[in-house]
Structure 1
């Protein structure tokens, strides 16, 4: 294991973190809030540490082999989370370090769960830092690193695949052109989303913050009421539009813009159709039972379902008041997630499609044993290894969710809260189910031990489980 290959880019990432911290420092300084010094001092210390590491290892050649690749991705997310938590801990919020780490990991993994209350009265620096964390996490720490750090471009495709679930097979020959297009798309979505929110009636500050929560599918807001702060139907449809776009494969959107052949077309159709069907089902269950005209109820049902299925976590009101059927739908929707190669978390649409295709092929073979029937995805046969990989991932995903839920119950959580907390952390969704961590609650009342575990489970979920769990395997550290 070449640890220097990991430590050098981590040092440079610390400098990047420090530079980002200057933005909330400036916001607090302009607002006259004393927390500007916390951000500035933290940025100075982190920047100095990063500069010393970079200077000590500068000029050394390194190459990312598979083990260094996995170790770097894990280290990058952990270091960014530990460093990003310092301003939350040192500010006037009164958070424990476990809560500060939870808030940071929740932002970076675009989960959107929070331990902070009274958001409407928080200083602008804290609100902006929360939003920046999820905006950075949405595009991915590794993507930013590949863009800014030339050394990471060696093996960049493997780094990107671990972080995003996008097995892109080098669509542009090298990783740099793809990352450049990816960043351009992300910036374009961000610009148009912020502009749409602003023109629809948000303040400039809120438009920027809600934009970051939308395009990153993170869900952090500047109000305890989340999106219910802006309940107008046209505002919610702006959110629906950009959450759906951000839940689609970015490679698909890039190819649409370039008018090129698109292998993700089937995944996107399934994603849109499934989302529309679930939204309409929830609308039918509440129409006439919840106050509001049909279009408003359809808008709120669609917004909340899109928010959950894209793992954004915004809430337009407390949908847990819509009855047991709606609660059950929202809970199971939490497992789905968006498309591969998007900012969304969750199980991912393409895995659901492959599983359904495998089940369909198995049933056809049972009915026609003499026929050769293969599962297909995107019009091509699914290789046995791919189907096997999805099946193994499904078992691992379920076992990890159930294992963490069991631990949370052992630590004192009730069954509903434990199950909901586990899946919302692992799928990077945000609010859970129940009075404690539901859309009207926060995670602030949970014990610090649970808070630490949930934060690490968020990172595991963001790294597609295998990317995070592998480093705990003895095979990873073995020299043979």
Structure 2
């Protein structure tokens, strides 16, 4: 293709690989501490990844630094594939996950912060591998592409193309006029919140290893746990679950608003339309589902995974409702109770949240609340236009008019999202899943949620899927994490045309 700067793409992939290798090496001390033989496999995987990255970067280090949109899209998509392929090496080198398909699925599920797993017994896995598994969440949560732009400004390339392609949500509000400064501040907030949650979980009774893994999984809205029962393992410790609820809520909030909150500008937070819908929506749904659980729950159905409590206990009902609503809406995917065992109306409400998503500019996946707000407002706008065809009635969001091109982009995204969901559900039935499991796996993978309904419910996993189904769900996780267009645009002929 004319003018495509191949060398800068390969150079950037090399830098991404080197950073990924350094993160792998961070898992080695955990293996050493727990006296695991897998330390050598993790060390070898990290060094191999660093060497591969160094070679890619070294032979392309003199590439011209100009970066256009096409290169930006290719770097982000290929960068995520590079992360995934190299990220499988700790699993492969230690033989922790013998099947490469399973290793790829688990790795991409980590980086995309989906949290779907093929592991049948998490608790027998080596600690070093479990840390690496959680680290893939943490890296993918904010995006290693943003990290690279933040700490390597010496590249001298245009970071905004990468930031816009990588940052979650329909917009990437900046906290600072320089993109590198924005990325640095985002990562600083991300790190500080992760450390704070780790400290609080440790104080609440988790051991240090579980605390650091769950802190990384929470702030990335990923959902990988170190326990087979997920957070339901701590159903006897309400404080632990309330801490995780609070940090899931923060992680699903636009990080720019979190930045303002940390600076004491709380007024700016509650002026955000999206935050108000997000925050009060969680409260409203929690109260509604709590009411359904207390008053309409079938007493013959188990309410929790490993530590049932009577649903007559209002606190228990409120906590599990709050936990699961926040977990699904923020696309974290932690589990404190099996919501598919609640009454049908409550279960259907939970499934509907698969199509909402968290806030734009957060680590959440899904469609994002701001898109729903704009689409609903635009629909009312169309009703008004039917009555007053000559009137100029702008769609307003946060007090400002929304440009038509943004509205068209949001409508196109939503149509594409729902079309992919429908087609994916059909394809997954072809791969052997029943109807309920197919729509659950499709919605969960595309929305980066994790547990779903059917045979992939909160008490099940994805191990039983066929090999083609696992690769297809991996593809859905990737396009969902990168907001559809970033990947799908590469499949269009006009992207590759020479003009």
State how 1:7-406 maps to structure 2 within 5 Å: 7-150=10-153, 154-163=157-166, 164-165=168-169, 167-168=171-172, 170-231=174-235, 232-259=237-264, 262=268, 265-288=272-295, 289=297, 291-292=310-311, 293-369=313-389, 371-406=391-426
Give the Å deviation of 1:170. 4.3
Q: What stretches of structure 1 of length at least 5 have no aligned partner?
A: none
Q: What stretches of structure 2 of length at least 5 have no aligned partner?
A: 300-309
Give the Å deviation of 1:92. 3.5
CA contact (8 A) 1:145 1:152 kept: no
CA contact (8 A) 1:246 1:344 kept: yes
CA contact (8 A) 1:345 1:461 kept: yes
Aligned residue pair count? 479
1:429 to 2:411 alignment: no
Of 90-99 and 211-220, the range deviating more from structure 2: 90-99
Q: Pick closer, same or farther for the CA change 1:265–1:86 going to 2, 3 Å.
A: same
Q: Pick closer, same or farther for the CA change 1:221–1:384 going to 2, 3 Å.
A: same
What secondary structure sits across from 1:287 in the alignment? helix
Give the Å deviation of 1:169. 5.6
CA contact (8 A) 1:9 1:149 kept: no
Of 315-324 and 143-152, the range deviating more from structure 2: 143-152
What secondary structure sits across from 1:342 in the alignment? coil
- Give CA-to-partner distance per residue, 1:186-239, whole Å, 9 cap, x none: 011111111111111100111100101111100000001000111122221111
CA contact (8 A) 2:174 2:256 kept: no
CA–CA distance in structure 2, aligned partners of residues 113 and 413 of structure 1: 16
CA contact (8 A) 2:65 2:155 kept: no
- Give CA-to-partner distance per residue, 1:274-298, whole Å, 9 cap, x none: 1122222211211133523011101
CA–CA distance in structure 2, aligned partners of residues 29 and 258 of structure 1: 40
Q: Pick closer, same or farther for the CA change 1:374–1:60 going to 2, 3 Å.
A: closer
CA–CA distance in structure 2, aligned partners of residues 111 and 414 of structure 1: 21
CA contact (8 A) 1:157 1:170 kept: no
CA–CA distance in structure 1, aligned partners of residues 41 and 70 of structure 2: 36
- Give CA-to-partner distance per residue, 1:399-444, whole Å, 9 cap, x none: 111111111111111111111111100100011111x211000100
What secondary structure sits across from 1:372 in the alignment? coil
CA–CA distance in structure 1, aligned partners of residues 194 and 173 of structure 2: 27
Normalising by structure 2, we get a TM-score of 0.93
Of 47-56 and 205-214, the range deviating more from structure 2: 47-56
Give the Å deviation of 1:15. 1.2
CA contact (8 A) 2:479 2:488 kept: yes
Give the Å deviation of 1:243. 0.4
Q: Pick closer, same or farther for the CA change 1:75–1:281 going to 2, 3 Å.
A: same
Give the Å deviation of 1:259. 4.6
What secondary structure sits across from 2:456 in the alignment? coil
CA contact (8 A) 2:169 2:359 kept: no
Give the Å deviation of 1:50. 1.5
Name the Cα RMSD after superposition.
1.6
What secondary structure sits across from 2:59 in the alignment? helix
CA contact (8 A) 1:248 1:341 kept: yes
CA–CA distance in structure 1, aligned partners of residues 389 and 84 of structure 2: 53
CA contact (8 A) 2:357 2:447 kept: yes
CA–CA distance in structure 1, aligned partners of residues 290 and 377 of structure 2: 29
